[in-house]
Structure 1
Amino acid sequence: MSSGIRATVKVETPECPIAKFSKRTETTINQVSTSVVRPGEDGSTTEFLAGTDTEVDGAVTGPVFSYGETNLYRRTHDGGEECPCECLGSFGCPVHRYVAEDGDLTLVFHAASFEQLQAVMDEFRERFPGISVQSLLQPPLRGTPEERVFVNRGKLTDRQYEVLQTAYRMGYFERPKGANATEIAAELDITQSTLTEHLVAAQRKIFEDVLETEA
């Protein structure tokens, strides 16, 4: 059985009552007992703790219970999939972590396969324009959490990716080399200087993520 993929995505100012609550109360919400809505389910709820005693009504109710410095609030789902959690729940993807801060929402969830992840992200991008992928991890994972970084291939242009992929396929990065720059440039029908320009740019973008630096 596949171990799946753990994805972290951030949605800017979604139509999510809890995210709106976090912005209105200037509170970070990360202690959530969530029950996402599956098709055909009614009355599912999400409960969360917030360090505020703001009285609310509508989609978020409460506080329904006090723990001293924090209070318990409740959000009732209607199955309309108007917020990211409900949309995610329709795919059957479990939520690993949920953080609402200043109106933005960060979700860590598990997808069974890259195909399912692609379907989820396609739906997310259609419904929530302000979404970005923060990280993708596929077990088994090596190294400490600090050593695991997300390399954003989307930084590369189509041409940079093509050049990098061709150079790798032809053995340019092997020792001894399987092909030299002249041979790769000929394969791509470009000059050697253009090949070098694309390779350097592509590698720099990748190194920015691996070394966690900025250009």
Structure 2
Amino acid sequence: MGDRSTSIIVEFSVPAEEFALYETLCEVPGMTVEVERVVAHEADCIVPCFWTSGENYETFERVAEDDPSIRDLTKLDEVKGAILYRAEWVEDVETVAYTMTRTGATLLDATGEDGQWMLQLRFDTSEGTTAFQRYLEEHELEVELHRLYELTQPRLDGQPGLTDIQHETLVTALERGYYETPRDVSMSELADELGISQQALSKRLRGGHHTLVENSLTVDSPGSEEQGP
């Protein structure tokens, strides 16, 4: 079998001022922003949909309208204490968001709160990862790397590629009996305990389950190249 491409996953944290919504996250403490999906990912713009959870939505919307990192904030939906928005993130050469678009990264997960973002990116080639790192260094962007691994290889440390947030959520769900039959705790109760909305909890659980299955059941074993008859 010929060489197969290997996705590289990079997980890191970054100050909000180097990504997006810095003024909003700083001026409205206690609000959590979780990117749901990116509806457009072009060379010069990123247009995500993101859930927000917290208590002061009126202040969040007022501050976000004037936040220089986004424009065209639009409210899409509201479900049980969480609101879904869409906004275009303004192109800025001095941000990690801009770096993503220039180096071919795919945004897998992004959670912002209290002036910081936790990000998970996927690169299809090692060249993309190298270009991303070089760009960060050239523009002196401050990031804290947490994990970097290849998706098609087993994790050496026994961890299946979960983000810290996903790991915390799944462990808490297990300890509280969410996976028991019948359940010892409802999704609403578990979300309240974690201090997030049910929509955010559902997203974390889906992401964690996807990562566990993908990295535990579809990884290549050493010497697993296709053998002839």
Alignment partner, residue 95 of structure 2: 83
What SS class does the counterpart of residue 17 from structure 2 fall into?
coil
Q: Determine the C-alpha separation between the residues in 2 that align with 1:15 and 1:147.
A: 28
State the Cα distance separating 1:147 from its structure 2 match.
Answer: 3.1
What SS class does the counterpart of residue 103 from structure 2 fall into?
coil
Please say if 1:124 is aligned against 2:127. Answer: no
Alignment partner, residue 2 of structure 1: 5
5 Å matches for 1:174-193? none
Q: Determine the C-alpha separation between the residues in 1 that align with 2:23 and 2:53.
A: 15
State the Cα distance separating 1:6 from its structure 2 match.
Answer: 0.7
Aligned amino acid, residue 32 of structure 1: E
- In the alignment, is the contact (CA less than 8 A) between 1:8 and 1:133 conserved in 2? yes
What is the Cα-based RMSD across aligned positions, in Å?
Answer: 2.9
Aligned amino acid, residue 36 of structure 2: V
What SS class does the counterpart of residue 91 from structure 2 fall into?
coil
What SS class does the counterpart of residue 98 from structure 2 fall into?
helix
- TM-score, normalised to structure 1, is 0.57
Alignment partner, residue 34 of structure 2: 30
Alignment partner, residue 111 of structure 1: 123
What is the number of equivalent residue pairs in this alignment? Answer: 147
What SS class does the counterpart of residue 146 from structure 2 fall into?
strand
5 Å matches for 1:52-91? 52=54, 53-54=57-58, 55-56=61-62, 57-58=65-66, 59=70, 61-91=73-103
Q: Determine the C-alpha separation between the residues in 1 that align with 2:105 and 2:138.
A: 18
State the Cα distance separating 1:124 from its structure 2 match.
Answer: 1.9
Q: 1:49 aligns with which of 28, 48, 51?
A: 51
- Unaligned stretches of 5+ in structure 2? 162-229
Alignment partner, residue 111 of structure 2: 99
- In the alignment, is the contact (CA less than 8 A) between 1:19 and 1:101 conserved in 2? no
State the Cα distance separating 1:144 from its structure 2 match.
Answer: 9.4
- Identity of aligned pairs, percent? 14
Q: Determine the C-alpha separation between the residues in 2 that align with 1:123 and 1:46.
A: 23
Alignment partner, residue 213 of structure 1: none
Alignment partner, residue 209 of structure 2: none
State the Cα distance separating 1:133 from its structure 2 match.
Answer: 1.3
Higher strand content, 1 or 2: 2
State the Cα distance separating 1:115 from its structure 2 match.
Answer: 2.5
Classify 1:17/1:136 alpha carbon distance in 2 versus 1 (closer, same or farther; 3 Å).
closer
Q: 2:159 aligns with which of 137, 140, 147?
A: 147
Please say if 1:137 is aligned against 2:149. Answer: yes
